[in-house]
Amino acid sequence: MARILVVDNDPGFVRMTRGVLQTDGYQVQVATDRSEALNLMEHAVPDLVLLDDQLRREMDGVDLMDAMSRNPRLRQIPKIIVDSAPEGGEEPGDSLENALWLSKPVKPKTLVDAVAGHVTRTAFVHSPQYGEYEYGPDHPMEPRRALETVELCHKYGLLDKPWVDVVEPQPAGVEDMVPFHDRDYLAALQEANDGVFEERMIEFGLGTMDCPVFPGVYDYSALATGGTLLAASLVDGGRYDLSFNLSGGFHHAHHRNAEGFCYVNDIAIAIRHLLRKGRRIAYVDLDAHHGDGVQDAFYEDNRVLTISLHESGETLFPWSGFETEIGTGEGKGYNINVPLPPQTDDEVFLEAFNEVVPEAVTAFDPDIVFVLLGVDGLLADPLSHLALTNNAYAEAAKVIEGISPKCVALGGGGYQMNSVTRAWCLAWAVMNGIEPEDEYVGTIGGMMVGTEYVEGGGLRDRHAYTTGPLKVEIRKEVERVTEHLKTAVLPLVKPA
């Protein structure tokens, strides 16, 4: 994120601009003519264009901003025109009406303030209250993951960038949740908020080992849902193109019952709110467990593309998510599952991801992409049998951010604390276009897995690979699945 494209052939101005903005953490690319600028934007959409006015007018006789206005991917990019303000009486054309004008020479502080005020921003959605709830002393789900991730992000300076806003959510109300959830279920969940179990709650999946009744169970669910609604509204509003609610992502909750540590399906709720506004949504689920609650919510809906890469339902809860589950009715072809065999590693995971996700999302042409960054597929995680490192999640997150016009990222699963916080911190970094300098190697801890240290004490895991005949069999099975999807399912995905 925070990619700045400078279109200018003045070496002195380019040198000053690059140095000043890179010092603040921005990525800066430079083009000296129209074709070079459009080529760079085709490969990576910038968050702001800084454009020399004279060069704009002389580019092959075609106004660059007019060319951008004809491309849906480039039309909404903020622009700053650098030269002299329009002469008296001259009115900017339609392509200039949202552009800011600066006059050369531009003072560094003026430049920094202008860029910070106009660049598309990213939002980190967080409440200190997320860490105040506990499922129980022996439960693998630990809401305090959020607090520890925030602390690690601060340690790496990832929340201090000039384009990043940390935003605190408010709890969702009942009326926010009823577009997806049954009112009787929500009433039962409210009754459970005092932590006292009543036998009738079992009807709604409350009071099980997976979904215990604990003090604040409704409050926590409402706050997490409020965070996802806020994350969605921020990117939909146009000022932000990425938001991350790391305490969201409860993809197993169903219309009338809790399931799989999930009480309120914040994802389905937020997507339904956006559908009422006419948006098209792509949802990419990277959690080790199949996103059955979200799948069920939109199984017959061609306005939502759901893609889930997960451990096969043959070996892991919720025992679903096979490649033959592709949607029904108008939704046929808009539900894509990529089941992965146990011990799938980074190489095979990314091969499957790259074969399916970019093509499907691009063909669908969504307004907003949701990505569930459940990281319970990590090798150190106790609740799945995949063999991923956080490098795979980081690469997938980077690709999704790059193909998304707007992106809402959510947390999801992850049950080995150190692994979760490092993976989410790394994902937030790469989605913001940052490769953290790991001066903390050896100070964050490590996890011994077999004879290898996978977690090396910094943010990035050491690579770990499945080998031998098992790897051959895993790759063969995943290739079978992806080939089926590419020939029988992906051709059904169409834009609006």
3-state DSSP of the chain: CCEEEEECCCHHHHHHHHHHHHHCCCEEEEECCHHHHHHHHHHCCCCEEEEEHHHHHHCCCCCHHHHHHCCCCCCCCCEEEEECCCCCCCCCCHHHCCCEEEECCCCHHHHHHHHHHHCCEEEEECCHHHHHCCCCCCCCCCCCHHHHHHHHHHHCCCCCCCCEEEECCCCCCHHHHCCCCCHHHHHHHHHHHHCCCCHHHHHHCCCCCCCCCCCCHHHHHHHHHHHHHHHHHHHHCCCEEEEEECCCCCCCCCCCCCECCECCCHHHHHHHHHHCCCCCEEEEECCCCCCHHHHHHCCCCCCEEEEEEEECCCCCCCCCCCCCCCCCHHHCCCEEEEEECCCCEHHHHHHHHHHHHHHHHHHHCCCEEEEECCCCCECCCCCCCCEECHHHHHHHHHHHHHHCCCEEEECCCCCCHHHHHHHHHHHHHHHCCCCCCCCCCCCCCCCEECCEECECCCCCECCCCCCHHHHHHHHHHHHHHHHHHHHHCHHHCCCC
| Cα distance between residue 312 and residue 299, in whole Å | 19
Q: What is the pLDDT along the chain (496 residues), one digit of tens a residue?
A: 578 999 998 899 999 999 999 988 888 999 988 888 888 988 778 889 998 887 766 654 457 777 888 887 787 788 898 885 544 434 444 345 557 888 888 999 999 989 988 888 999 999 999 989 999 999 999 999 999 999 999 999 999 999 999 999 999 999 999 999 999 999 999 999 999 999 999 999 999 999 999 999 999 999 999 999 999 999 999 889 999 999 999 999 999 999 999 999 999 999 999 999 999 999 999 999 999 999 999 999 999 999 999 999 999 999 999 999 999 999 999 999 999 999 999 999 999 999 999 999 999 999 999 999 999 999 999 999 999 999 999 999 999 998 999 999 999 999 999 999 999 999 999 999 888 776 655 555 554 444 344 666 679 999 999 999 999 999 999 999 999 999 999 999 999 8
User: Based on the number of CB atoms within 10 Å of its own CB, is 457 exposed (0-12), middle (13-18) or buried (19 or more)?
Assistant: middle
Residue 25 neighbours by CB distance under 10 Å: 18
Q: What pLDDT sits at residue 342?
A: 98
**3-118 belongs to which CATH class?**
alpha beta
Q: What are phi and psi of 182, to 5 degrees?
A: -70, 140
Query: Is there a contact between 268 and 299 (Cβ–Cβ < 8 Å)?
Result: no
* CATH no., domain 121-492: 3.40.800.20
Q: What pLDDT sits at residue 2?
A: 77
Residues forming CATH 3.40.50.2300 domain(s) in the chain: 3-118
| Cα distance between residue 51 and residue 80, in whole Å | 6
Q: What pLDDT sits at residue 451?
A: 31
Query: Is there a contact between 443 and 451 (Cβ–Cβ < 8 Å)?
Result: no
Query: Is there a contact between 294 and 382 (Cβ–Cβ < 8 Å)?
Result: no
Q: What pLDDT sits at residue 234?
A: 98
Which residues lie closer than 8 Å to 4 by C-beta, 6 or more apart?
A: 21, 26, 27, 28, 29, 46, 47, 48, 49, 50, 115, 119
Query: Tokens 């004279």 identify what position?
Result: 54
Query: Is there a contact between 416 and 378 (Cβ–Cβ < 8 Å)?
Result: yes
Burial code (b: 16+ CB inside 10 Å, e: under 16) for 43-81 equals eebbbbbbbbbebbeebeeebbbebbbeeeebeebbbbb
Residue 123 neighbours by CB distance under 10 Å: 23
Q: What pLDDT sits at residue 42?
A: 82
Residues forming CATH 3.40.800.20 domain(s) in the chain: 121-492
Q: What is the pTM (predicted TM-score) of this model?
A: 0.89
Output the furthest CA–CA distance in the chain (Å, rounded). Answer: 77
Q: Which two tokens stand for residue 153?
A: 């992000």
Active site amino acids: 252
Query: Tokens 């990619």 identify what position?
Result: 3
